[in-house]
Amino acid sequence: MECTIDWQGPEGMLFVARTGSGHVLAMDGNPAGGGNNLAARPMETVLVGAGGCASYDVVLILKRGRHAVTGCQAKLTAERAETDPKVFTQIHYAFKVTGHGLPRDAVERAVELSHTKYCSAIGMLEKTAKITFSVDIVEA
């Protein structure tokens, strides 16, 4: 896996990342840090990646179990250390999984498997952050 990050010039702190899979992602800082608030902060993109990684796992596990999942939303809230490096110290995943007749135990097991076995992002972030989950199941 690889990526290239290019600073977009002296007028701010905008960076454009090009991923090895050919996609583009912009990142910027807040004005207090020299940015122009044109894109997500770099640490926000870390949190987005962690949410996407776990959500991918949950949906894939449920689909492989032949459950009728029709939607999955993860809302992440995080706290960071007050001193540098300002690592994440707590992350909470609030999953809302939608489907037809989804058994609670299957959804909770999918979330648990993501956390304990499959999600690479959680595997890294749990070195500094306490990670918690909640699950809400919505009938479609």
Q: Where do the domains of the chain lie?
A: 3-33, 42-139
Of 102, 46, 44, 96, give the one whose Cα is nearest residue 75.
Answer: 96
| Amino acid in position 12 | G
Tokens of 97: 């999984």
| pLDDT bucket at 119, cuts 50 / 70 / 90 | very high
Of 100, 80, 76, 101, give the one whose Cα is nearest residue 89.
Answer: 80
pLDDT digits 0-9 by tens, 27-69: 999 999 999 999 999 999 999 999 999 999 999 999 999 999 9
Q: If you average pLDDT over residues 108-115, what whole number do you get?
A: 98
Q: What superfamily does domain 42-139 belong to in CATH?
A: K homology (KH) domain (3.30.300.20)
- Cα–Cα dist 96/108, whole Å: 11
